[in-house]
Amino acid sequence: MSMSAVKFTDSEVGKLLRGVLVIVAAGLMILPAYLNYEIWHRFSINPVVSMAISLQLFAIGVILFILAVGKERFVGKIQQQ
């Protein structure tokens, strides 16, 4: 059996999954602001706990975005400057 020379990330399914991951990551970066307001006002949870939940969701969103886009794109720009 020979392996295809096309990487998974270059295939159509890979591109589709990368697009979905970028959308999920963007949602996790934007959604915490709304969730923070709702959690704090509707459920009367301590503001510190509410902010902790929001910060964790935002951090997960940033990590997913970096994984989807690829760290090579960030490293290349930093080293050029």
**pLDDT tens readout for residues 61-71:** 889 888 888 77
Q: Which residues of the chain have pLDDT under 50?
A: 1-2
d(Cα 25, Cα 13) in Å, to the nearest integer? 18
Q: Between the CA atoms of 54, 60, 66 and 69, what dihedral angle is there, to the nearest 10 degrees?
A: -90
DSSP the chain: ----SS-GGGSHHHHHHHHHHHHHHHHHHHHHHHHHHHHHHHS---HHHHHHHHHHHHHHHHHHHHHHH-HHHHHHHHHH-
Query: pTM of the predicted model, to two decimals?
Result: 0.66
Where exactly are the structural domains of the chain?
A: 13-80
